[in-house]
Amino acid sequence: MTLHTLQPTALKSQAISFKALPPLSLYIHIPWCVRKCPYCDFNSHEARSPSPQPSPARGEGVLPEFLEQHYVAALIRDLELALPLIWGRKVYTVFFGGGTPSLLSGESVAEILRNVRMLLPLDLGAEITLEANPGTVEAARFAAYREAGVNRLSLGIQSFNDAHLKALGRIHTAAEAEQAIEIAQQHFDNINLDLMYALPNQKLDEALQDVQTALSFAPQHLSCYHLTLEPNTLFHLNPPSLPDDDASSDMQQHIEELLAARGYQHYETSAFAQPNRRAKHNLNYWQFGDYLGIGAGAHSKLSFPGKVIRQARHKQPQAYMEQVAKDAPLHSEHEVPRDELAFEFMMNALRLNEGFASVLFQERTSLPLHSIRRELEQAERRGLLFRDHQRIAPTQLGQRFLNDLLEIFIR
């Protein structure tokens, strides 16, 4: 990728089109973790040489200083190279994902955010989220992250049961998870807790106890995920003994009822929030907004008048850094075919239990709503979809059988 100089006329015409473009988010991928979990299919790499190593000088699970500095510099250069694609567009949310972003020092997070602010018009009220593990070393950095500008923390708890944590390959204990939440709440007033259910050999009362423990901390947001066996994971290769469909469905139903009784809004398939605490960054994904992804393996979705492009960075951290040094961080880039835009939109928007405003479909895809008239009618006949003149939304049946609903829009 090369930088291009935009002429004043080009800048003027681009500015005119900004209002027609979706909101823009920034995703920053940190590709390392201390140990790869057997269920994880994200682009994450264990801390092995020449990747992060425990260091007596810096603490266990901390990236070697030279590697951290090299990667942070690559992230900043990656962002510089991407500027022509998003020139002048305001960024409304920033998300540090991984891997384990809390392996980064507070100084590195501050350096990244300083450059984001210098290079981009970052909204004054931007939501800036960082994913963190509840290990002792990571929790010690929470104050530094807040000082750097992070204003929302997402903790990967998964369970408060030590036996289940061990089965999931997590390296923290239940006690460490609770301690991490307490430390986080000293610095953040916007916290998400990630939980999983339908775990190996898990019983209904154990799943509910996890949620009850989480609720005792009154987090602003909860993500409750059904454990799934994803391809290219250890769990997929050697499947553990999981609750059957009826048992996992009971867990889901009871969790939803429990959270509703405590005032949490179930606004997306796996997301629950206190009023006015919905995840803005994830909402932008689900509403088919735009996002620039930087870092190893990061993906981007960017809109231009009449088209949408997707990008992917090189997945391997070393290859990514080498390509950035050559001013060529991209592994692939393509324009989304117009006949696939409807499905891509629905695959995101129908995860929202309240659905979406009808006008949003044309705004985000440049396709008229009547182009999917037959699909909408079929979904309605099957009782999977509700629509009126203003809104389109999955029914309760559609929420339960979301894959069946989405298949209708595949062309």
Per-residue confidence band for 18, with pLDDT thresholds at 50, 70 and 90: low
Instruction: Return the percentage of the chain with pLDDT > 70, whole number.
Output: 91
Lowest-confidence range among 86-100, 124-138, 208-222? Answer: 124-138
Per-residue confidence band for 136, with pLDDT thresholds at 50, 70 and 90: low
pLDDT by residue (tens digit) across 302-353?
Answer: 999 989 999 999 999 999 999 999 999 999 999 999 999 999 999 999 999 9
Q: What span, in angstroms and rounded, lies between the C-alpha atoms of 29 and 39?
A: 19
The correct CATH number of 17-285 out of 3.40.50.2000, 3.40.630.30, 3.20.20.70, 3.40.30.10 is 3.20.20.70
Which part of the chain has CATH 1.10.10.920?
338-411
The tokens for 287 are 């509403």
Q: What span, in angstroms and rounded, lies between the C-alpha atoms of 81 and 93?
A: 20
- 3-class secondary structure for 289-338? CEEEEECCCCEEEEEECCEEEEEEECCCHHHHHHHHHCCCCEEEEEECCH
Q: Global pTM?
A: 0.91
Q: Residue-wise over 74-91: b if at least 16 C-beta within 10 A, else e?
A: bbbbbbebbbebbeebeb
Radius of gyration of the chain (CA): 22
Looking at the predicted structure, is the pLDDT value of residue 8 above 50?
no
Are residues 64 and 55 in contact, defined by beta-carbon separation less than 8 angstroms?
yes
Per-residue confidence band for 295, with pLDDT thresholds at 50, 70 and 90: very high
Mean pLDDT across 370-387 = 97
Hey, what CATH topology would domain 338-411 get? Answer: Arc Repressor Mutant, subunit A (1.10.10)
Which part of the chain has CATH 3.20.20.70?
17-285
Looking at the predicted structure, is the pLDDT value of residue 180 above 80?
yes
